[in-house]
Amino acid sequence: MARAFPSVVIENLHPLIDGGRYPIKRIVGEDLVVEADIFKDGHDVVAASLKWRVLGKRAWRETPMNFVDNDRWRGVCTLYDEDIHEYTVEAWTDTFRSWQAEFAKKFEAGISDLRSEALEGAALIEAAARRARDRADRKRLSEFSQQISTGANSEIHAIARSGELEVLMATYPDRAAAAQYDPAPHVVVDRPAALIAAWYEFFPRSAEGRGDGGSTFRDCLPRVDDARAMGFDVIYFPPIHPIGHTNRKGRNNSTTYEPGEPGVPWAIGSEAGGHKAVEPSLGTLEDFDWLEKEVRKRAMEIALDFAINCSPDHPYVKEHPDWFYKRPDGTIKYAENPPKKYEDIYPLNFRCENWRELWAEMKSVVLFWAECGVRIFRVDNPHTKPVAFWEYLIRGVREKYPDTIFLSEAFTRPKMMKALAKAGFNQSYTYFTWRNSKRELIEYFTELTQTEMSEYFRPNLWTNTPDILPFVLQEGGPPAFMIRVALAATLSPLYGIYSGYELCENEALPGREEYLDSEKYQYKERDWNVPGNIKDWIARLNKIRKENRALQLYTNLRFHDADNDAILFYSKMTAARDNVILVVVNLDPHRKQNSFVYVPVESFGQMESDVYQVQDLLSGATYTWRGRRNYVELDPNIQPAHIFLVRR
């Protein structure tokens, strides 16, 4: 038989991922709303607390939970420490409230002999007096106990329901037999940049837009400043490590290359070093350090690419041949996705005999760059390595550098994308890049923001990447670029563009989503201020994001009706409703579209009349709207979206 037994049932705790196997995620200052079913046998009243603490710390913090409905209770706390926390629910029988309710029922039913009931109440209060830490409280409780044990029924009834006694009894409850939900699930509390940031990706070697040769780290500041002027927070570099020579790819992925062609940055490793070195043509580690600090000075930071690929020239190939896959003849296997071959890359075997050594070395690579000041890593193709490896690596790095952020670049099947997020990735690439229609966008973002995924999967929305020039951009021209970046910037607090986007670059290999003359394989000539660029549009979007708290929240996204299927209409607002944003986007880059949109006025809170003003933060224009149904018209060649601030 059990030594003790749970006095109260606590079930169906929410949020809870896979029964508590994986943590949920929050950023510093974010709320954690916890719900649970809490009940017990019989008619007693129960009480409950939400408890939380930094993992490994002794003392719990706590806040009372409130009854919602149907045995459901809810508590809310705010997490301020950038650390892993645990949270749980404690519940107990509220003996005072139970007595209070019973006494009231009997008194109101006109039962006159309540002597016994009075003495029971007095005893409960006297026991609380003994628990009271504050001397004045102790004294006051004893007085109450005395009054109740000797008073007339009507007096007792009044005292029992007095606010002062209720507060005192709630301050010193008898929790000796309290039950606790066990084991307590975890919540990873990240710094804000894990959820709120605008990313700008560029190749350092293309920083100056010269086609005849590479730029270095020392040449990157103008590009960084331009990104800063556009309002970006994170500068993300493709791999900066030495590029291999053996089987180096040429222009447009040619299997042969001409002298002077720079190779693919993802084919890592040469005589100049591996993952802990920098490509000599970009400069030195000192140059990188300098750049890293310059970027920090601008209140921005660099994200590095963590791509676990080795060129045949990588030092690992000689030093640790046992880490690679071998062919029966003893040679090392290159990467393949039959019939495609990647002769310039050797994949590592994460299940090799010496996997522990390999895993530890991989962790040491990330720690090396963390030591250099880098705290954001975009991880290349994590879905081709064991999920357990990422759980190990991310936990290990964050033990030393808790502010490190990992972005999962897994464009793969949905469950693997979720598994990587659960295993520890702080952010994830998404299918946004290919979601264009109204129905697709509503369906996908409802799943992302309104289901369990929102607890652990933070979408970083990319309009384009060096690997993906979506067809919508190839076909839709500059209006499509304005539409897609407006969606990315407002659907999630976290988004990114790959440079060239602001110039509306959209020349692709025919029938494919690959860039023509992609800078993955060559130096790229560009005029960063070419006429027709949309830098000002992007700058306005980022400014609006920074100035409106509602756009820095994530799960507050709500879609609303619009009559026209080309018009997407959604809102974001703060919990206090002091920042209400309405976004209207014309998804059709080719034609002017108009629609009635149905404004969620009922969620605006109290209004003096049904008339209100909406100020378009993109154009500055202000409109007077009335009630739910209002008219919009968007010409993609002028302005394909409104971002309205509601003014009451």
Catalytic residue numbers read: 380, 409
Output 123 or 127, the one with its CB closest to its own copies: 123
Backbone angles phi, psi at 74, to 5 degrees: -140, 140
Q: Is 111 in the site for its own copies (CB under 8 A)?
A: yes
Token pair recorded at residue 456? 């652990």
Q: Is 116 in the site for its own copies (CB under 8 A)?
A: yes
Q: Is 388 in the site for its own copies (CB under 8 A)?
A: yes
Place of tokens 């139970």: 98
Contact mark string toward its own copies, 82..101, x via CB under 8 A: --------------------
- Residue 329 CB neighbour total at 10 angstroms: 5
Residue 250, beta-bridge partner list = 254
Among 328, 511, 531, 532, binds its own copies (CB under 8 A): 328
State the minimum distance, in angstroms, from the CB of residue 387 to its own copies: 5
Among 2, 59, 299, 576, binds its own copies (CB under 8 A): 2
Output 70 or 154, the one with its CB closest to its own copies: 70
- Residue 613 CB neighbour total at 10 angstroms: 13
Output 6 or 273, the one with its CB closest to its own copies: 6
State the minimum distance, in angstroms, from the CB of residue 534 to its own copies: 37
DSSP state of 470: -
Q: Is 606 in the site for its own copies (CB under 8 A)?
A: no
Output 360 or 638, the one with its CB closest to its own copies: 360
* DSSP-assigned states of every residue in 168-222: HHHHS---TT-EE-SSPPEEEEE-GGGTSEEEEE--GGGTT--SSS---GGG-HH
Q: Is 135 in the site for its own copies (CB under 8 A)?
A: no
Candidates 54-62, 324-332, 468-476, 485-493 — which segment interacts with its own copies by CB under 8 A?
Answer: 324-332
Token pair recorded at residue 553? 């929240």
Classify residue 401 by burial, with Cβ atoms within 10 Å: 0-12, 13-18, 19+: middle
Candidates 150-158, 200-208, 337-345, 460-468 — which segment interacts with its own copies by CB under 8 A?
Answer: 337-345
CA separation, residue 58 to residues 19, 53, 85, 188 (Å): 24, 8, 12, 18
Q: Is 18 in the site for its own copies (CB under 8 A)?
A: yes
Token pair recorded at residue 266? 């993802």
197-201: strand order across its sheet: 427-428, 405-409, 376-380, 301-306, 234-237, 197-201, 494-498, 461-462
Among 43, 58, 297, 318, binds its own copies (CB under 8 A): 43
Please give the residues from 394 up to 413 whose contact with its own copies meets the rule CB under 8 A.
413
Distance CA 459, CA 466 (A): 19
Among 360, 516, 611, 621, binds its own copies (CB under 8 A): 360
Give the list of residues 6+ apart from residue 59 with CB closer than 8 angstroms, or none.
Answer: 53
State the minimum distance, in angstroms, from the CB of residue 20 to its own copies: 7
Q: Is the dihedral of CA 409, 412, 414, 416 positive or negative?
A: negative
Please give the residues from 447 up to 466 whose contact with its own copies meets the rule CB under 8 A.
none
State the minimum distance, in angstroms, from the CB of residue 240 to its own copies: 25
Q: Is 386 in the site for its own copies (CB under 8 A)?
A: yes
Residues binding its own copies (CB under 8 A)? 1-2, 5-7, 9, 11-12, 16, 18-20, 37, 39-43, 70-71, 102, 105-106, 109, 111, 116, 119-120, 123, 177, 327-329, 337-339, 350-351, 355-356, 359-360, 383-389, 392, 413-416, 419
